[in-house]
Amino acid sequence: MKRFNKLFSFTLIVAGLAMISCEGPAGTPGQDGQDGISGTDGTAACNACHSGNQMMLAKVLQYNNSTHSTGENAAYCNRNGCTECHVSQGFLDKVKNGAAEASYSDPLQPNCYTCHEIHQTFTLDDWALTTTAAVDLVHGTGSYDKGNSNLCANCHQARSVSPMPAVGGADVTISSRYGTHHGPVANILASTGGYEVAGSLTYKATGHYTMISDGCVTCHMSSPYGTQAGGHQMSMGYDNHGATTLNLTGCTTCHNDATALNTAVSARQQKTQGLLDDLKAILIAEGVYNEATGLANGGTYSADLAGAYLNFQTVLEDRSLGVHNPSYTEALLTNSIEKLSVK
Ligand code: HEC
Ligand code: HEC
Ligand code: HEC
Ligand code: HEC
Ligand code: HEC
Ligand code: HEC
């Protein structure tokens, strides 16, 4: 019934219009207006990204499944000293204006706008990264300079360590929160920021820094495994029937045998875990590490002991168990263990 009514009124309107146009003789035609220059379609630029080819959707879905999206520490970290790495608006203020605000309304996790110049020119140029400048490391010496991954190093670097003990120097007083914070990866890759006490191993650079032109991006953002690893999900590993499988698509230019590489990763990680366990036992016995809290016992310690704790905490928080920089992490742990075992 409704449909019939609509049809009926439509017919009436059309009939009315037809009647109007039949009225009387036509008047003299008006003067032709100037033809306007035809413009480009207003949405053509938008279509470069907002089209039906699912290219952008793939990145969005990968990102949605990442810790960048789901970690949810932005609200917790919406305070002085934390926003520059944990809140999207804070990072952009730091990069564009030199400093982040103490807090923001609507604090956001890192997202497309944090890393890309989205909706600045409304062209494909907007995929440009918000920064690719080399990063002066806050802790340790020198800078991190590896192409597109400089973006990552701004946030995934150690925070300042105070006091930093001089090797073999005076005792230092440390707080329970002593250390490099979470994610000192840029420092580990660049082989800097550890307490480099002398021992049987030397502190060296790694091919994972010197030979890889886009650093983190080459390994963590390589061809993805669905939305579970790689690409804009950025994890190295994904769950495969209850076990973690590594997405090795970024490694094959240098390591061409996947089976051998998996074995090498396991061996390296087991070795690092063993050294961490050994050093941890010493740090507990010396009273500097509190296993219950996972933090230091605040107090005054020798430079060697505070430095060994710093090395333990830094390698632990790097979270690759030595893979990022095999020789540097092994030297930090081994030499600390040697130093503290010789009394
Ligand atoms: C360089 C690629 C690119 C171009 C060109 C582009 N956009 Fe976007 N747009 C994005 C991205 C990325 C997002 C955020 C997607 C997300 O978070 O899911 C977005 C989001 C949006 C949104 C959702 C609201 C928001 O701001 O997040 C609207 C609306 C939008 N775009 C409109 C447009 C229009 C209109 C144009 C053209 C004038 C345009 N976009 C051009 C990449 C682009
Ligand atoms: C704006 C600062 C910032 C930038 C830039 C940034 N990250 Fe992150 N990243 C974080 C924070 C913060 C977390 C943890 C998120 C949370 O818990 O809320 C994180 C988490 C991660 C994780 C997940 C760790 C886990 O436990 O699952 C990976 C992997 C990662 N980032 C890699 C990268 C790579 C690769 C880049 C560069 C392409 C990058 N990040 C750029 C701040 C940043
Ligand atoms: C230099 C950048 C930077 C600053 C400044 C920073 N963080 Fe983080 N934080 C990170 C990154 C990167 C991660 C993720 C590391 C990872 O997953 O390996 C992280 C992780 C965390 C986590 C998650 C840890 C976990 O185990 O899940 C918490 C909580 C956190 N930060 C709190 C804070 C607080 C509170 C502040 C300020 C007092 C702060 N952060 C300042 C970079 C920073
Ligand atoms: C943590 C930083 C980070 C975040 C968040 C991020 N991207 Fe990216 N994106 C990158 C980096 C780095 C590259 C370059 C990768 C490379 O060099 O292989 C990139 C590349 C891209 C490209 C390819 C650009 C080109 O020039 O062809 C697209 C498309 C893209 N991102 C879309 C997105 C979208 C959509 C979002 C939000 C859902 C997003 N990105 C969020 C860091 C990020
Ligand atoms: C040589 C390749 C390589 C490079 C370069 C690299 N990573 Fe990793 N990363 C790994 C591997 C392998 C792991 C261990 C994954 C596992 O055991 O599940 C890892 C672990 C991590 C983790 C722990 C959480 C996770 O997803 O497993 C974070 C966070 C991380 N890397 C961030 C970074 C950042 C940020 C950079 C650059 C500053 C970087 N990585 C550079 C290969 C790399
Ligand atoms: C650009 C070349 C390059 C890429 C890409 C690369 N590696 Fe390596 N890798 C090296 C070199 C060189 C060494 C030798 C050790 C060193 O220089 O620190 C090495 C050593 C290793 C080792 C052996 C460490 C030990 O126990 O001695 C492991 C494990 C490893 N890489 C894992 C990976 C993984 C996983 C990826 C990808 C996510 C990767 N590598 C990507 C060059 C590369």
pLDDT tens figures, 167-203: 999 999 999 999 999 999 999 999 999 999 999 999 9
For atom 3 of ligand 2, which residue has the closest CA?
155
Q: Kindly tell me the sign of the dihedral angle through the C-alpha atoms of 306, 312, 314, 316.
A: negative
Q: Which amino acid is at 301?
A: Y
322 Rama sector, left if φ>0, alpha if ψ -120 to 50, beta otherwise:
left
Nearest-angstrom CA–CA distance, 255 and 257? 6
Query: What distance in angstroms lies between residue 208's CA and the mean position of ligand 6's atoms?
Result: 6
155 lines ligand 3 (CB under 6 A): yes
Mutating to test ligand 1, I would choose from 43, 46, 69, 115 the residue with most ligand atoms within 8 A of its C-beta, which is: 46
85 lines ligand 3 (CB under 6 A): yes
82 lines ligand 2 (CB under 6 A): no
Nearest-angstrom CA–CA distance, 100 and 94? 5
Q: Which amino acid is at 282?
A: I
- pLDDT given for residue 19 in this prediction: 40
Nearest-angstrom CA–CA distance, 306 and 324? 24
70 lines ligand 2 (CB under 6 A): no
Query: What distance in angstroms lies between residue 210's CA and the mean position of ligand 4's atoms?
Result: 23
- pLDDT given for residue 170 in this prediction: 97
Nearest-angstrom CA–CA distance, 164 and 314? 13
Which pair of tokens denotes residue 108?
Answer: 């956001």
Nearest-angstrom CA–CA distance, 88 and 73? 11
187 lines ligand 3 (CB under 6 A): no
For atom 24 of ligand 4, which residue has the closest CA?
127
Query: What distance in angstroms lies between residue 216's CA and the mean position of ligand 5's atoms?
Result: 7
Ligand (nearest to CA of 72): 2
Q: Could you state, in chain order, the average pLDDT of each consecutive group of 10 residues for the chain (343 residues)?
A: 42 38 50 57 83 94 98 97 98 97 98 98 96 97 97 97 96 96 96 98 98 98 97 96 95 96 98 98 97 96 98 98 98 98 76
114 lines ligand 2 (CB under 6 A): yes
**Of ligand 6's atoms, which has the minimum distance to the CA of residue 222?**
38
